[in-house]
């Protein structure tokens, strides 16, 4: 049997084409084939596994942020001479109470687990502290209401 496009010997399949024309037609038909959307090519089992993992991650993050351990003795009631371990990541140390600052003042964020020794307190919620923060000894002022959690060290 001969190829229907040339005089070469045709393949044994029903296409009626020689090897060269068969490969040529096959390569051209790939370009015309429509590409299925990504989700249609994505196996269902992998989709279910991915959705399960995303749900688990979301619930874990929600549970992690919902659990905010606050000590029975809040930091607001700290007294001079006491040492506290700060359990928050967004606690700021100022060089002076905020309303006495100029506009060019920057605060330092304290590390989780920083040690704060209370030196003085004020009625408006500011506390003068000496802090060991990441191996550095610093002094400044902390707004007591902004400390989400702390444990008394002594």
Supply the pTM of this predicted model.
0.50
For residue 25 the two structure tokens come to 């037609």
How confident is the model over 60-118, as pLDDT tens digits?
888 776 655 544 447 888 899 999 999 888 889 998 887 655 555 678 999 888 999 99
At 91, phi and psi to the nearest 5?
-85, 130
At 152, phi and psi to the nearest 5?
-75, 130
- Within 10 angstroms of residue 16's Cβ, the number of other Cβ atoms is 14
Task: Please tell me the total number of residues recorded for the chain in this structure.
Answer: 154
Is 2.30.30.40 the CATH number for 75-152?
yes
Alpha-carbon gap, residue 98 to 95, rounded angstroms: 9
Q: What is the DSSP string of 44-108?
A: HHHHHHHHHHHHHHHHHHHHHHH-----SS-GGG--TT-EEEE--SS-EEBSS-GGG--TT---E
Angle, vertex CA 103, rays to CA 105 and CA 132, nearest 5: 15
Alpha-carbon gap, residue 76 to 146, rounded angstroms: 9
List all residues 6 or more positions away from 82 whose beta carbon is below 8 Å from its beta carbon.
Answer: 117, 118, 152, 153, 154
For residue 99 the two structure tokens come to 């309303």
How confident is the model over 6-63, as pLDDT tens digits?
888 888 777 788 888 888 887 777 655 555 666 566 677 787 888 999 999 988 888 7
Alpha-carbon gap, residue 114 to 112, rounded angstroms: 6
């Amino acid at each position: 049997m001969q190829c229907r496009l040339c005089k070469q010997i045709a393949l044994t399949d029903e296409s009626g084409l020689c090897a060269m024309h068969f490969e040529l037609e096959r390569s051209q038909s790939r370009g015309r084939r429509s590409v299925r959307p990504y989700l249609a090519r994505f196996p269902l089992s992998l989709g279910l596994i991915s959705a399960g993992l995303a749900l688990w991650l979301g619930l874990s993050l929600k549970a992690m942020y919902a659990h905010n351990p606050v000590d029975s003795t809040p930091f607001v009631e700290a007294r001079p001479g006491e040492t506290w371990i700060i359990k928050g990541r967004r606690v700021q140390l100022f060089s002076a109470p905020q309303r006495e600052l100029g506009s060019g003042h920057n605060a330092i964020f304290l590390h989780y687990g920083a040690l704060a020794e209370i030196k003085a307190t004020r009625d408006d919620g500011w506390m003068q502290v000496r802090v060991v923060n990441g191996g550095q000894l610093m002094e400044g002022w902390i707004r007591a209401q902004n400390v989400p959690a702390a444990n008394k060290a002594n």
